Amino acid sequence: MVAAKTPNQTEAALREVLPRRYWIPINDLLVTYGRTLCRPTSPLCSECRIADICARVGVSRSR
């Protein structure tokens, strides 16, 4: 989606490409996604719709 190395850089890059009216809804969606599928420990990569384009940075074990 965006090329960034830190959460702050990611936020800034997304703000540049997303219209302001989507900032809050997309945040809610990304937080929920992170809590349910793309979890910090044992993410559910097999259920992820974007797994084929995901870099899986730092993922050593997934389900």
6-58 pLDDT, tens digit each: 889 988 999 999 999 999 999 999 999 989 998 888 899 999 998 898 888 77
Q: What is the largest CA-CA distance in the chain?
A: 36
Tokens describing residue 44 = 């559910």
Task: Kindly list the distances between the CA atom of residue 26 and the CA atoms of 14, 33, 59, 61, in Å, as whole numbers in the listed order.
Answer: 10, 10, 23, 27
Domain residue spans in the chain? 7-53
- How much is the pLDDT for 1? 64
pLDDT digits (tens, 9 = 90+) for 12-24: 999 999 999 999 9
Q: Is 5 within 8 Å of 13 (Cβ atoms)?
A: no
Question: How many Cα atoms within 13 Å fall on the side-chain side of residue 55?
Answer: 7
